[in-house]
Structure 1
Amino acid sequence: MSAPDPASPLRVVGVSGALQAPSKTTVLLSAIVDAVATRVPASSRIIEVAELGGSFAGALTREQLGAPAQQALHDIETADLLVVASPVYRASFTGLFKHLFDFVDQYALVGTPVLLAATGGGDRHALILEHQLRPLFGFFQALTLPVGVYASAADFDGYALRSPEVHARIVQAVDRGLPLARKAVDQEVSPYVSTW
């Protein structure tokens, strides 16, 4: 996270781990990013791993990445607020979602606020937020915001998010998260480098 310009809008970067388009996960992610933009001045970008797939799926080092993936990493590493979402695959986030974050610099997200979201076939998958996504961003020493958003297949009509409960959860997540995000952005964050 870089030092903010107080006159600049909040740089919000959404990352969807969905492997296809259209995607319920990307619909949920877009709804959260839009909710942020209705509350604070924001510039936003949504990164879809389904679109990046060919430019980074076979890369083993960051230097092997194509230009679209390099730009995505730059945007992730310089975001003021990350909103991340993945569908549940085999009880976790998708492999391409993890592969993208494997290329993120270890200290680039220190103190960066991250709002977590996920989609799955049923409510039993909601624990992905706590058991998979929160530890991943804990590794980066990011500031995972306290309220995450989960939506199951029953919350959608096709690719339209219809659930009033999920919409209310989005409002709750954004309203509770934005003060923490603003505080984090207003502070200069120095990456901690371990001496171990």
Structure 2
Amino acid sequence: MTNATVVGFSGNLARPSKTRGFVGHFVNEIASRHGLAAATFDRDDVGPTLGAARWTRDLDDTGRKVLDAVVGAEVLVVGSPTYKGSYTGLFKHFFDLIDPSAIVSTSTPENFEIFFQAPR
């Protein structure tokens, strides 16, 4: 294990958020069961430079720290509320900034994907 951390990232549009709560619950459960450190972020934690960023270097220090935590995680839990039948735009944009090869060996919880849509 290179970085014994489970990191969650939520694409919620507002706080408080059921999506962030759901992601945070999974992050804490996995961390507790496997003795990992835990951190949960959402798009607001990335900061105001996210929307205008074309490259990771365009993020401010706060945004880069969140991105580095996501890229460096041993386990990654992500969630987004659906918006017009898809995930939120800034959620997608955040992950578009990441080089796919940087997270290729990152685990998903229990090596499977969970699809969940919270009731409105």
Mark yes or no: TM-score above 0.5: yes
Cα pair 2:81 2:117 within 8 Å, conserved:
no
Identify the residue that residue 81 of structure 2 maps to in structure 1: 87
Please list, as runs of the form range in 1=range in 2, the aligned pairs for 1:39-58 lying within 5 A after superposition: 39-58=33-52
Identify the residue that residue 65 of structure 1 maps to in structure 2: 59
Taking the aligned partners of 1:38 and 1:79, their CA distance within structure 2 comes to 15
Identify the residue that residue 194 of structure 1 maps to in structure 2: none
Cα pair 1:11 1:80 within 8 Å, conserved:
yes
Question: Alignment identity in percent?
Answer: 31
Cα pair 1:17 1:97 within 8 Å, conserved:
yes
Identify the residue that residue 114 of structure 1 maps to in structure 2: 108
Picking from 71, 78, 86, the partner of 1:77 is 71
Structure 1 residues 36 and 85: alpha-carbon distance in aligned structure 2, compared to 1, 3 A threshold: same
Cα pair 2:75 2:107 within 8 Å, conserved:
yes
Amino acid of the structure 2 residue aligned with 1:20: A
Cα pair 2:50 2:59 within 8 Å, conserved:
yes
Cα pair 2:11 2:91 within 8 Å, conserved:
yes
Deviation at 1:12, TM superposition (A): 0.6
Taking the aligned partners of 2:36 and 2:111, their CA distance within structure 1 comes to 18
Taking the aligned partners of 1:51 and 1:87, their CA distance within structure 2 comes to 17
Please list, as runs of the form range in 1=range in 2, the aligned pairs for 1:91-110 lying within 5 A after superposition: 91-110=85-104
Taking the aligned partners of 2:97 and 2:114, their CA distance within structure 1 comes to 24
Root-mean-square deviation (CA, aligned residues, Å) is: 1.9
- TM-score, with length taken from structure 1: 0.56
Identify the residue that residue 12 of structure 2 maps to in structure 1: 18
Deviation at 1:112, TM superposition (A): 1.1
Any unmatched runs of 5+ in structure 2?
Answer: none
Q: Number of matched residues? A: 120
| More RCO (CA 8 Å, sep 6+) | 2
Structure with higher strand content: 1
- TM-score, with length taken from structure 2: 0.88
Structure 1 residues 38 and 56: alpha-carbon distance in aligned structure 2, compared to 1, 3 A threshold: same
